Structure 1
Amino acid sequence: MGDSYTAGVSTQAGWYPDPSGAPGMLRYWDGVQWTPAVRRAPSAPPLAPPPGSDQPDRPDRRRAVGWWLAAGAVVVVLALVVVGAVRLGRSLVPSASPGGQASTQVCPPATGETPTPVAAPTDGRVHGGKLSFPQLSQPFGDVLPETEVPFARDVHQQLVLVQSNFDGRGSSWVATVMVGDLYAGDGFFSPQDGARIVVDCVIGRFYGDAQVTRHDVRNAATTIDGHEAWLVESKLSFDINGLRTKGELLLVAIVRTGPSSSGIFYASIPDTTPELVEPARQALAGLRVDG
């Protein structure tokens, strides 16, 4: 039996001044305890006060295409059946409308590092950094680069359109499988810490103002292609106006790819397209650490 969680406006996870007193450093608070993850503070003041102080209203976040999280040292292999160039619930770009459960506290800020273009091998696999999965057949589309990920580079994905213009404003809901290479930053996330941060970021930022209930089916250590990893399989439930699906399957696998890097597999599959679950699981099972 998995654990259940409800994401709401009380979430206080985020980056705060390091309680150890290290000047110019931030440490990640997961909402319960301090984690080992640290990074340099941006030149601007932190967006959120330390835990225990009054929290500001959190702006709504609009998700369309793209992705979340930033920094640390998680080389993420994202298999994300949720992004896509148009998705109210999963966008890297904040929504202009206020309110909702989304919060800049939940996701680390972007590093500002510019990705270096890398020619992808033509070997029938989708590559992102040191991680790759077998290219999926139809209804998944061609392999596309994802340039809106602020915390990763060399990101590639395959999409399936699930519902177009569900909000009457041109937004579409898609299924996506994505892989990418995260910037190392100034600290290092263990696979377990990376998985927690990624899932918190996704739930806290990419479903607009909808309340999201999370039920973990699996949240445990594993190995992928002989490398240390952490796998989260979770059932998300929500109710977004105009959207037919009321939930989806979330798969996140953080894979250690080197002494100071990790990779993540992320898959989010709407309940209205159960036929896409097996291809996503095949992509997860076929993950490979290259190089």
Structure 2
Amino acid sequence: MTSAGWYPDPAGQPNTFRYWDGTSWSEATTTNPATPAPGTPLPPQPPPPTSPYQQQPPATPPAPPTTHRPGYGEITPAPPGFPQQGYGQQQPYAQQPYAQQGYGQPGYGTPPAGGSGGSGAGRTVAIVLLAIVLVVALGVGAFFVVRGATGDDDTSTAGDDSSSSAGSEGSSPTAVPSKQQCKGGDPDPGELDPASPTLTGGGLTIPSLTDQGYTVDHRISKPYKFATAFEASYLVIDQQGGWISSYGVGALAKANGFDSTQQAAEALVYCMTHSGLYEGFTGATDQQVGAVTVDGHDAYSVLTEVRVDNPDVNVEGDLLQVVVVDTGDSDNYGVYISGVPLGDDNAAQQQSDEFDQISVG
């Protein structure tokens, strides 16, 4: 009797072989008579080679987190001229829908799609501080959700590079900041000592808060593209959403179009809220705005509530403070930025205390 094997299909199908099991034809067919008999188990497959990248730990720890403060994209286009009310308004947020008042007034621009005082010696105005941006916790994971820049053309800005902002306390800048103002710095301070008790930049020094759980890392400085050598520390507030509290100081080049501490502080708030740094930004309400004294030096501070509508995070936004200080440097201002989550009284008090400890020199 014919032995089991593959034989030309008795049904006459061209280039087809049917398996004969030694007693009858099976249903199995093939176009390759060298195919193993039906039901024959496949030989074990060797495991795939291991990539050397899987055998070695990463060269550097994961980047710090920030869902709400990633890398800057282009500045949202807006016609020249800020609203007449903007900074300094005291109306509660509920009375300032984005499209009608405050940051959303005609002429202030449109938020990007998809896209955080207190008194003390030497301070002339009490201010609640707040820190901003960027990015993710070391050892926690890559919370930095970086929004890529969309190019380097100038179509995203309005006004010229020297947009001055003369006016009374609480008034708005007279022009939308230029790209040079928002992105003309070099924020990377280089490698930092993670255990350093202080942060220093632009002639300013503040406590790093490492004794209170904050992390010092040069990568957290990345989104502050308007500043130079910006040293910052951060604390993860919402691990899942990547929201952080942060403090930092650096230099602000006057040559990038900054003519006064007031104009610079107001411009930087606009740069931060209209660049994609706060994903889901809906608007901001100023709390305290005006001239202050920092360690005996003239300065200007903007303290504002920045709100977001982002289902990925469990906070409403930031209490953001930007302070620009005239340190006496002919080329640069000193800039201090802090941001803490809205609704956290302890964080707001810490922010106020931090502002009181800014030193110049």
1:84 aligns with 2:135: yes
Cα distance change, pair 271–138 in 1 and its aligned pair in 2 (3 A): farther
Where is the helix percentage greater, Structure 1 or Structure 2? 2
Give the whole-Å Cα distance in 1 for the aligned partners of 2:185 and 2:336.
23
Give the whole-Å Cα distance in 1 for the aligned partners of 2:110 and 2:268.
22
Contact 1:127 / 1:133 at 8 angstroms: preserved in 2?
Answer: yes
Contact 1:225 / 1:288 at 8 angstroms: preserved in 2?
Answer: yes
1:279 aligns with 2:350: yes
Unaligned runs of at least 5 residues, structure 1: 1-8, 15-28, 33-55, 64-77, 97-102, 167-171
Residue number in structure 1 paired with 2:217: 144
Residue number in structure 1 paired with 2:125: none
Contact 2:254 / 2:331 at 8 angstroms: preserved in 1?
Answer: yes
Q: Could you report, residue by residue, the CA deviation over 1:28-72 in whole angstroms, capped at 9, with x for unpaired residues?
A: x5456xxxxxxxxxxxxxxxxxxxxxxx99864759xxxxxxxxx
Cα distance, 1:190 vs. partner? 0.5
Cα distance, 1:194 vs. partner? 0.7
Greater shift, 245-254 or 182-191, is seen at 182-191
Unaligned runs of at least 5 residues, structure 2: 1-74, 85-108, 117-128, 137-142, 159-175
Residue number in structure 2 paired with 1:174: 244
Give the whole-Å Cα distance in 2 for the aligned partners of 1:217 and 1:87.
28
Structure whose alpha-carbon radius of gyration is higher: 2
Counterparts of residues 238-249 of structure 1 (less than 5 Å): 238-249=308-319
Greater shift, 128-137 or 193-202, is seen at 128-137
Residue number in structure 2 paired with 1:128: 201
Give the whole-Å Cα distance in 1 for the aligned partners of 2:189 and 2:303.
31
Q: Match of 1:177, as an amino acid?
A: Y
RMSD of Structure 2 on Structure 1 (CA): 3.9
Cα distance, 1:157 vs. partner? 1.0
Residue number in structure 2 paired with 1:183: 253
Contact 1:133 / 1:288 at 8 angstroms: preserved in 2?
Answer: yes
Cα distance, 1:288 vs. partner? 1.1
Residue number in structure 2 paired with 1:41: none
Cα distance change, pair 57–222 in 1 and its aligned pair in 2 (3 A): closer
Residue number in structure 2 paired with 1:215: 285
Residue number in structure 1 paired with 2:274: 204
Contact 2:217 / 2:233 at 8 angstroms: preserved in 1?
Answer: yes
Cα distance change, pair 148–239 in 1 and its aligned pair in 2 (3 A): closer
Cα distance change, pair 142–118 in 1 and its aligned pair in 2 (3 A): closer
Residue number in structure 1 paired with 2:173: none
Give the whole-Å Cα distance in 1 for the aligned partners of 2:178 and 2:144.
21
Paired residues, number = 219
Cα distance, 1:114 vs. partner? 8.7
Cα distance, 1:284 vs. partner? 0.9
Where is the strand percentage greater, Structure 1 or Structure 2? 1
Residue number in structure 2 paired with 1:4: none
Q: Could you report, residue by residue, the CA deviation over 1:10-43 in whole angstroms, capped at 9, with x for unpaired residues?
A: 97267xxxxxxxxxxxxxx5456xxxxxxxxxxx
Q: Match of 2:133, as an amino acid?
A: V
TM-score by length of 1: 0.61
Cα distance change, pair 221–59 in 1 and its aligned pair in 2 (3 A): closer
Residue number in structure 2 paired with 1:75: none
Give the whole-Å Cα distance in 1 for the aligned partners of 2:263 and 2:82.
9
Where relative contact order (Cα < 8 A, 6+ residues apart) is larger, the structure is 1
Q: Match of 2:78, as an amino acid?
A: Q
Give the whole-Å Cα distance in 1 for the aligned partners of 2:150 and 2:340.
23
Contact 1:79 / 1:178 at 8 angstroms: preserved in 2?
Answer: no
